[in-house]
Each structure stands twice: as C-alpha cells, then as structure tokens.
Amino acid sequence: MKVFKFGGASVNSVERIKNLAKIVKQYPDEKLLIVISAMGKTTNALEKVAEAFYEGKKEEALRLFEQVKQQHLTSAKNLLTVDYFPCAVHLKNLFTEAEWLVHDKPVRDFDYYYDQVVCIGELLSTALVSFYLNEAGIVNKWIDVRDIIRTDDNFRDANIDWEFTKTKIQGTVAPLFNDLNIVITQGFIGSTDENESTTLGREGSDYTAAVFANILNTESLTIWKDVQSVMNADPKQFPDAEPIPELNYNEVIEMAYYGAQVIHPKTIKPLHNKNIPLFVKCFLEPTLPGTLIHNQALKKQLPAIIVLKEKQVMLELSSKDFSFVGEHHVSHLYHLFEKLKIKPNLTQNGAISFLSVFDDRVEKIEKLALEASELFDVKVIKDLSLLTIRHFNKQLFEKLTEGKKILLRQQTPDTIQVLIQ
C-alpha cells in the first residue's frame, strides 16, 4: 500500500483534476490511500469568509462563500456527466454545514469558527475528485476524515489523539481495502470528541498523509507537487536553484526548521518512526525522478542549501537599568513568545540586550513589543532578510552577501545565518 498526497495546485482546475486521474491510473494494481488539499486558493478564500463573519459582516461572508460554492459547482459541471446530480447534492450538504453557522452570531473564539468554515475546502475538493474518478472508472471510496482523525480542541493548530486515530484507521479505514484499491480523504482537518471540526495548521495536509502512512504502515508516501523536486533554494528567489535527487529526514528537518518551504515540518516524524520513504514528485511531469527522502546516510554530498526569508523584523530588547540580561529576563521573554504563539527565527543574547528575529506579523509584533516594554527598552527594526546557508562555502557566502549590510551573524560548522538590512 502507498499513500499519495495531492496539494491544492494539483486540483485547482478541471484539467488538473483530469491530470490527477491520469497519474492514479498508472497504479492499477496498487492499494492507494489518497489525501487531497483544498482546490487552489480555496483555503485563503474561506479564511476571508470566516473573518467577515467574525467581524459581523454576514452579508459579505455569504457573498464570499457564494464564490467558493459556484467555483466548485462549475468544476463539477465541467467534470461530470452522469454523476453531476449526486455530486451536487453532496457538495450542497457540505455548503449547508458552513452556511448555518454563518447565519448565527459569533459567540466563541475566532479560531473555532475559522476551523468550522475552512475545513469545508478539503471536503469539497475530495468529494469532487472522488466522484470524477468513479465516473472515469477508477473505483474509489470517499471518507470524511473527521470521523477518523481525532484531535484536541486547540483550533487552527490541533493536536492529534494518536491512540483514537490509530484505532479508527486500523478498524475502519484498513478494512476498506479488502474490497477496493483506492480510498480518498482530506488532509489538514480532523475533529474533536464533540464533533467540532479542527484544522492542523496551514499546509497541514502533508502531515495528515504521513499520519496515514505511519498507521497503515505503508511502503511509501508520495507528495505530488508542482515543482520537479525538492530544490536547494527557492527558484523564484534564485533562478539557478538545482534539484536535489536524494535527501534524508535529518536534512529535511533542518531545512524546514530554517524556513525552506519543502514539506510541512510535522510530516517527518511519523515517517521517520516507521522508516517509511518519502517521494516528492511533480504532478505535471510524473516521469521525472523527483526527490527521494529516506532514513539512511546520503551517498552524494549535498549542494549548499539556501533559505532566504524576507520581511523579517528584529527586536532589540535592552535592560532599562544597564543590568545584565539574565535568565530571569530571558525566561520572561520566552513565556511571552509562547503566550503570543510567536517563534523567533534567530536569537542572540548579549550583555545588556537580547536580539530576536521574527516573521513580520504586524499584530503579534506590536503586542510583543508592548508587553516586553514593561521590562526592556524596545527597539524594532523592520524590512530585514534572514539568509541561511547550509553546507556553505566561503565563495558562495561572499557572493550572496556582497555589498549587503549584515546586522547579525551566527555560524556552526555546517550552517551560517546572517540578518541583512
């Protein structure tokens, strides 16, 4: 058995869904558990619906939701002939789930409503694909993953209850494969023991796929993306970025930690624990080899891996009375980070100041600066970039930093990081 994960870009049009079918057809004798994301930018669109609703703009929320509905119904119309009607009924039932909520007034936290609305994206896309594959003769069963993946109620970043989920997958998902080869389900979403929908954090579908691979003990997981493979840098930032044919879990964890947009960081552990290889392949050119990620030492030396994070902000926190910044200050700060759910990308402690670098999420940074100002003098510097190079060499480092003003630099034998103004 294999797990396939198809991201939003692989299902964002009628042509792409047909392309997905072509890929799946290449595996006629394989048992496939297929995890799919919401179509294209649906998650972003649904976020807007949830925001409008929460701001009390019900009409606006319904108008935005209408666009999501029409887009899915139109896709269904263009994909299906005989099964359009039952598919539309299924989609409409899902629409209703979000709509009854939008007609109410918000009385709970935003994050709760966010999850109830945003989860619809994955339910819609998977229903559409499942109907289409069945009509195209690729027999499959659609399941609502909210009956399977149990989480806590930490909305928007829910944690999986592994015991419950394992029992469910083994007891109800695995037996489905006795009668058919393909099961289709949603990434990114789950539900609490009170049947409230939850989400696992943006881009969380990779993680869902890894959870299924782990519990079903599959021979591999393949993540189908719109890039030819994992690259050593973002080709949009570095046009001569090169493909990496082979990686191991350790390296991927490091890359994700430094901000490379490869795979959702939570994906690796469930695979690593069961030693399940991960393939990253291109759905546009499925014959390309892609990247193989495994648990062994690498045969070939890796190229330098470059991660450039833009829109960074540095907080310089200095003690008010020229006293040293000690454990007391630092632990206070880390409590603040935790409370505000904000993670520094880099920190450095000096005698009377503590430097920390973050993604510039304006609202959170303002709150942090305000709260920290009780204990420190706070200086905020914006519009910075954080450059990380793993397996760096001197020439490359000099080339990438030439003529740039470096505010902060950290280095280990393997990795160099600089904050650039």
Binder to ligand ASP among 40, 190, 204, 270 (CB under 6 A)?
A: 204
- Position with the least CB separation from ligand ASP: 205
Pairing of strands 278-282, 220-225: parallel
Nearest approach in angstroms of CB 107 to ligand ASP is 26
Report CA-CA distances (Å) from 112 to 107, 157, 237, 365. Answer: 10, 11, 36, 23
Residues 21 to 50: which contact Mg ion by CB under 5 A?
37
Instruction: Report the SS3 class of residue 162.
Output: helix
**Encoded amino acid at 159, one letter:** N
Size of the site for ligand ASP (CB under 6 A): 12
For the chain, give me the number of helices (H) and strands (E)? 13, 16
Q: Decide if residue 7 touches Mg ion (CB under 5 A).
A: yes
Nearest approach in angstroms of CB 353 to ligand ASP is 36
138 binds, among ligand ASP, Mg ion, none (CB under 5 to 8 A by kind): none
- Which secondary-structure segment (H or E) carries 310? strand 305-319
Residues 4 to 63: which contact ligand ASP by CB under 6 A?
7-8, 37-38, 43
Q: How many residues does the chain have?
A: 421
CB nearer to Mg ion: give 8 or 265: 8
CB nearer to Mg ion: give 7 or 265: 7
Nearest approach in angstroms of CB 50 to ligand ASP is 13
204 binds, among Mg ion, ligand ASP, none (CB under 5 to 8 A by kind): ligand ASP
CB nearer to ligand ASP: give 156 or 329: 156
**Encoded amino acid at 338, one letter:** E
Contact between residue 378 and residue 372 where contact means Cβ atoms under 8 Å apart: yes
Q: Decide if residue 267 touches Mg ion (CB under 5 A).
A: no
* SS3 sequence of 8-58: HHHHCCHHHHHHHHHHHHCCCCCCEEEEECCCCCHHHHHHHHHHHHHCCCH
Q: Decide if residue 111 touches ligand ASP (CB under 6 A).
A: no
CB nearer to Mg ion: give 7 or 243: 7
Q: Decide if residue 344 touches Mg ion (CB under 5 A).
A: no
Please list, in sequence order, all residues whose beta carbon lies within 8 angstroms of the beta carbon of residue 79, skipping any fewer than 6 positions away.
Answer: 14, 17, 18, 128, 131, 132, 135
Count other C-beta atoms under 10 Å from residue 379's C-beta. Answer: 13
Binder to ligand ASP among 111, 115, 203, 251 (CB under 6 A)?
A: 203
Residue ranges binding ligand ASP (CB under 6 A): 7-8, 37-38, 43, 121, 187-188, 202-205
